[in-house]
Every structure is written in structure tokens, then in C-alpha cells.
Structure 1
Amino acid sequence: MVDVDKAVIARLKTHGDIFEILVDCENALLVKQKRKENFDDVLASEKIFSDAKKGIFASEKKMQEVFGTSAPLEVAKIILQKGDLQVTAAHRSKETEEKRRKILHYIHRNGVDPRTKLPHPLKRIELAFDEAKIKIDDHKDSMEQVQEILKKLQLILPIRFERKQVEIRIPAQHAGRCFGAVKGMAKIIKENWENDGSWKGVVEIPGGMQNELFDKLNSMTQGSVAIEILKIEEA
């Protein structure tokens, strides 16, 4: 059972009544997001409250009327699924940082310096984030914020999103091993296995992935891979 002193409240307002339970914040969120099924380490108490702070219990009659059952565990599951969950300051801070990292890596992966056509180092983008005083919106999904953040970064850093079409030729002795790397890092537009066992293909990559892909293939083939950029488009 979860420590009551560390528990937060999940609350459901329905049928003119309030039903509350005490839960572990992290585990309750996992269940609510359908990333966890086990309910054992979610509840701090198997009591259903009408006011958890005052210790006032919900009536079994009301629970039966509203939920069709007065079994605490079944009612608790409904409250968590349909109700609102208080989130701790520590969890909010953790979620904000996770969103920030996700946005940073997306911009690093897709963005290039339009002057050089090469990606900016991640650290440079992070410094621009700080310089632009960019705030992450807790109420928006990470990807919903990317374009707005990109515009703010562009006031400080020359950067834009690009996609590149690249032709790759891999010699036969490296083709099998390198194919997996290509498939994992790029979208294959067309490909052909040549009679000599070599592989030739045209792939699409985010602009910021260019160096990573090229360096990896050069390392895996001891520099014998042939790479040519065919087309660059603003994304």
C-alpha cells in the first residue's frame, strides 16, 4: 500500500457529487495513461471519500447509484479513469524537462544552418533555448510547440528544418550489415540489390541527421560507401 502522507488526490465530479481517492502520483498516471494495468501499488487507501482532506467518506448508497457498485476497488478504478488527478510539483517539473529534451532533440535532428546546410551541435541549440528564454507549455504536447519555438530560435540562431534525399551505394562486403543501419535511420524511397551483391538506394533523412548517418556508414564500410545528396527541401 502507498504511503498516505505522499499520496495525491484523484477526484471525479459526477451526478452532483464528488468522489475522491488517495493515490501514488506516478503509478496512478501510468494506469491513467494505460501504460500500466496492475492497480496494487496505486491506492494509498481503499476508502472512497467525498472529501479526502477532511476524511469524509462517500456513502455506499451513492456509490451504488452512480457506479452500479459500492466495491471500493471497482469505484476507485472508475474515478481514476474518468476523473482528474492532482500532480505533484516534482512530477510537473519532471514532465516539463522531458518535453524540453524531446523538443531539443527533434530540432537538432531536423534543423540545419541554412548557410552551411549542416546541423548545429545540440549544445548550441540548448544555449539558444536559454538565450531566447523559451518556456515549455505544460498544457501542450511537445510537437504542438515545435514550430512556435523554432520561430523564437530563428531570432538568435540561423536554423531551419530541411529534408534531404540522398543516394547511397554500399559495397557487397558491407551491404548486409549496413542495410539495417540505413533502414533504422532513414526513409527508403527506392532501393536495388545489384548483381554483385552491393546495395544502391535513395533515402530521405531529416536535415540534422546527415552527419550522423554519413559518419556511421563511413565507419561501418571503412570509407568505401558512396554518398551523394540529390535534393534538399525545406520541411
Structure 2
Amino acid sequence: MTDKFTIVRLAVEGDKFELLVKPDPALEYKLGKRADISSILVSDEIYSDANKGSRASTEKLMKHFKTADPTEVAKQIMARGELHLTTDQRRKMVEEKRKQIVAYIHQSFVDPKTHVPHPIMRIEAAMEQARVSIDPHKRAEDQAKDVVDALRAILPLKSEISKLIVRVPPQYAGQSYSVIKSTGELKGEEWLADGSLKVTIEMNAGLRGTFIDRLGSVTKGTAEVKEG
């Protein structure tokens, strides 16, 4: 593997299939940011071992992919196979995934003593102390449970739901609705006679402060928020 190409590998029933691809375009394709598969391929050969130059047999292609068309096979290998990341790609993806996990924990958990989220830097420091390993391929939410379990010995964490009753004046009701809907789960909604909006909403306690700030910005501080 070089900076000019990398390998995508797929094993099916003991048979191995590999593609030679351009690293950054292949990653974009894998992430759904690029649609043209021909733009990511170094060659349209389907290999059983790319390093040795061994090509996969037509018989095995037909058996596992129901076609010997290299473009169609390449699409299936890209969809189901594992892209071998370059060192730089892995570093960037791990860092981005780490940020997503930290944000998820910050929004979803609170300190049980204060009932407010731990600061971002404190969560990051705890992850360093716990030597948490981040998988660049797994969704942040799917990894968060294991990360939280690893952090509990260092950082007290509690999943807590806030229930708020919100009243928005008529002139800001429309603008506020999208902020409310995007933050939590609506448990009640009422349009009052004067045109104002009253809702009951539940959300992760970690989102409470951000929600109140966003709502205050949209309504120029005129929204009423109280505990439900």
C-alpha cells in the first residue's frame, strides 16, 4: 500500500476478494460523498490477493456476486468490504469519531451531584485516563455505551431526562417550533387563543442549557421555560 492506492477486502465463505482503490476518493465513496465508482478504482481487476497480483476466478465471481462484470462486483465489494485506511485517514477519522462520542456523552449524561453535564475538557481528559480505544468505522452512538462504562470509574455519569414546559409569544411561535422539535420529544402541544405556543418537551438533561440558549436567541429572551 502507498499514498497512491489502498486495498478494499471482502471475504465470502472463505474466498477473498480485493480491489485496488485511490485512498481519499474511496473513503468519500464509502461515506456516501461520491457516487461514481470508476473514479475511485486504480484498476478494474478483481483480485484474490492484490499484493501478489492474483486475480479472482470468474467461477468464484459468479458464485458469490452472480456476475463477472468487474464494475458490478466492485460495487458489491465496496458496499460490503473493509477499506484499508491510510495512517493519515485513520488518524483523522479516529479524531472525528472521538469528538462525536464526547459530544454525545456531554449531551446525554450529567453529573449526578450537580445535574449538569460535565465540561467537554473533563470528558476528554477522562477518556485519555481510561485509555479508551476508538473504532473509526463504528457509529459514535454504538461505541458510546462501552466508552461510558469505561469512564464510570473515573467520572460519575447519569442519564437524566429533563421535562420542560415552554410558552412562546405569538410573534416567535413559528420560528421557535423547529428549535423545539429538533431538540427533544414533544409530549404536549397547544396553540393558545392569543396565538402563543405552549409545549411540553422531554430531552436529555445535557441538552437543557443549549436548548434554553437557542430558544432565548430566537425569541429575544421572551420565551417562558419552567420545569414540567
- TM-score for both structures, normalised by structure 1: 0.79
| 1:168 aligned residue | 166
- Alpha-carbon deviation of 1:185? 1.7
Aligned residue identity for 1:146 = A
Count matched residues: 228
1:113-152 residue pairs with structure 2 within 5 A? Answer: 113-137=111-135, 140-152=138-150
- 41-50 or 27-36: bigger deviation: 27-36
| 1:55 aligned residue | 53
1:18-37 residue pairs with structure 2 within 5 A? Answer: 18-32=16-30, 36-37=34-35
- Alpha-carbon deviation of 1:149? 2.0
The percent of aligned pairs where both chains have the same amino acid is 38
Q: Deviations over 1:32-72 (max 9, x none)?
A: 56664311211112334444323344566776787665544
Aligned residue identity for 2:23 = C
| 1:177 aligned residue | 175
Cα distance in 1 for partners of 2:29, 2:3 equals 21
Distance verdict in 2 for CA 1:41–1:119, change over 3 Å:
same
- Alpha-carbon deviation of 1:17? 5.9
Partner residue of 2:215 out of 200, 214, 217? 217
Cα distance in 1 for partners of 2:202, 2:13 equals 54
Contact 1:4–1:22 at 8 Å: present in 2 too? no
Q: What runs of 5+ residues in structure 1 fail to find an aligned partner? A: 231-235
| 1:105 aligned residue | 103
Partner residue of 1:46 out of 30, 44, 47? 44
Distance verdict in 2 for CA 1:162–1:54, change over 3 Å:
same
Cα distance in 1 for partners of 2:82, 2:219 equals 54
Let me know the Cα RMSD of the aligned residues.
3.1
- Which entry has the higher C-alpha Rg, 1 or 2? 1
Cα distance in 2 for partners of 1:51, 1:212 equals 52
| 1:90 aligned residue | 88
